[in-house]
Each structure stands twice: as structure tokens, then as C-alpha cells.
Amino acid sequence: MTSTDPLVSTEWLAANLGKPNVRVVDGTSKLPGILPLPKDDYLARHIPGAVFFDVDAVSDHSNPLPHMFPSAEQFGRDVGALGIGNDDTVVVYDSGGWTAGPRVWWMFLSFGKDVRILNGGLKKWVAEGRKVESGQATPKPATFKAAFDARRVRSMEQLVANLSSRAEQVIDARSNERYQGKAAEPRAGLRSGHIPGSLSLPFNKLFDSATGEMKSLEELRAAFAAAGVKLDAPIVTSCGSGISAAVLTLALYRLGVENPALYDGSWTEWGAAGGPPVATGPT
């Protein structure tokens, strides 16, 4: 069982902001074509002292799929350039729609660093009238030594093998319309539908859209139960490109699920033309 809830409150961050070992990270991301770009949003307004973690930059540039996990060496180098060391207390946030904050948290955890996530993100921070700033932060580079834990990520080959073994439950974080194949994918050229045998739990069912806060543990547990998920059996989360799947992963982690994994390539890989089998319709 996991022992620590990764979420911290805006009150906690406000009380600890500016301490020498506290590092704040803006991990906001958006789907391709949506403007302004996340980096431009960051430059216009962010929590004081926050650095911008670009999930597309901190990724495997040799892989044509979007923002795939980089090597441990690259992750350590890129994170160190953001002024983050192994002994720092790191708080990750996003715009408040859970758009990539959990992905950045899961990347840190996968590379050996336990970090925190701001519950409600920038949305709640601003709604409470807390201070923000603009412009580019210029942190002093630090040393970050990363070690990759392969248990936390799944490949397409592993998911294909799982079609027969059904050893792991696969949960799809996309909208149910996309899961059923009723809505076109936002990325061109992808087939519609879902991984055969996977379950549907849209990530936006796990947080309060009004406040940006993640729902209570009781509500999270009920949402997974309603989706047919067994919390005492192995779980892999998936989505469009490995971003919103981490919202499910975070919720599972908060519920004490041991080592939930994330399918990094997600539907961008699985749904490509000529890929593995695709199912449509309800669960």
C-alpha cells in the first residue's frame, strides 16, 4: 500500500513558498493546436518562483510519438537545468484542469523522486487571490540523479500480450464518446475506439470542475467501482497520449493502490493505422 497522499493544499504552499528547498513546477500541457501555448500561459501568469516543465521537451526526441518518457540521463539533466535537486521538496501544479500536473508527478516518481501536486492548481490559487508573477524564471542549475523504475510504465508490446492474459486491468481516461468510437480523435489519422477489454473512466469525473480540486477518497473509490475496476488487482491506465491517464494513476495512488502503471504511448500509438485490434461500443 502507498502511504503518502501526494496532494498538498494551496494553504500549505502559500506557507512554504520561498523556502530554500521548495521548488514549484508548472506542468501545464494542452492538446496540439490549442492556443495560447502552455509556455505562453506560464510566461503571462504563474505562481511566484515556478519553473516551466515542458512535457514535450523533457521527452524522448528519437521517438515519433508525443512526449514519451526520456532516458534517466536526459530526465536528470533536464530537471537539474530547472534548478531541481534530489533533496528538494517539489510541488507540481497545472492550470487547474488536471492537464499534465499528474503526468509530471508520475514522471518524477518513475525516475526516483517523490513529489507533491497542488490540489486545485493555478485555478484555485488565483481564485483565492494569491500572488502570481509573469516572465521567465531563471533558476540556478542543480544536480539531479535519476533512476528509472520500469514497473511504472507499460509498452504496446506488453498491452498486446495482456489481450490474451488479461493479467492487468486497463482503464481508459478519455471521454466515453472517444472510448466508444463515437467521437473522432483530436489527432489526425487515428482510428476510433478502445483497447479490447479496457474499461472507461473519463479523467474529468475525478475532480470538481468548479474548484479544480480532486474529489474525496470516497468519491474516487465510488467512481472506480462504477467503472468496474477492482482496486485489489493490477491496473494500467491509458488515454490519448499518456497525459490524462496519470490523473487516474494519481487517484489510484491516493487510494493506496500499489504500483499502478501507465501506458506511455496510449491511443496515439495503439490507434494508429495498422495497429493492434480496436474495439468500439460500451464496456
Stretch 226-237: mean pLDDT: 98
Phi, psi of 195 (to 5 degrees): -65, 125
Stretch 229-244: mean pLDDT: 97
Stretch 212-235: mean pLDDT: 97
Q: Which residues contact 272 (CB under 8 A, 6 or more apart)?
A: 189, 190, 191
CA distance 84 to 111: 13
pTM for this model (two decimals): 0.96
CA distance 171 to 81: 34
pLDDT digit string (tens) for 65-100? Answer: 999 999 999 999 999 999 999 999 999 999 988 989
- How does strand 169-172 pair with strand 235-238? parallel
Stretch 206-216: mean pLDDT: 95
Q: Identify the weakest region by mean pLDDT among 30-44, 184-198, 265-279.
A: 30-44
CA distance 93 to 126: 12
Stretch 166-181: mean pLDDT: 98
CA distance 61 to 26: 21
> Residue 27 — very low, low, confident or very high, per pLDDT cuts 50/70/90?
very high
CA distance 187 to 160: 22
The phi-psi region of residue 2 (left if phi > 0; otherwise alpha if psi is between -120 and 50; otherwise beta) is: beta
Phi, psi of 253 (to 5 degrees): -60, -40
206 three-state secondary structure: helix
Q: Could you give the residue numbers annotated as active site?
A: 239
233 three-state secondary structure: coil
Q: Where are the alpha helices (DSSP H) in 113-226?
A: 121-127, 156-165, 176-180, 217-226
CA distance 182 to 190: 13
Identify the bridge partners of residue 154 per DSSP, sorted by sequence position.
263
Report the first-to-last Cα separation within the chain, whole angstroms.
28
92 three-state secondary structure: strand
Identify the bridge partners of residue 237 per DSSP, sorted by sequence position.
171, 262
Distances (CA, A) of 112 to 124, 146, 181: 29, 6, 37
CA distance 132 to 49: 9
Residue 176, all three cell numbers:
466515453
The mean of the pLDDT values for the chain is: 96
Maximum distance among all Cα pairs of the chain, rounded to whole angstroms: 53
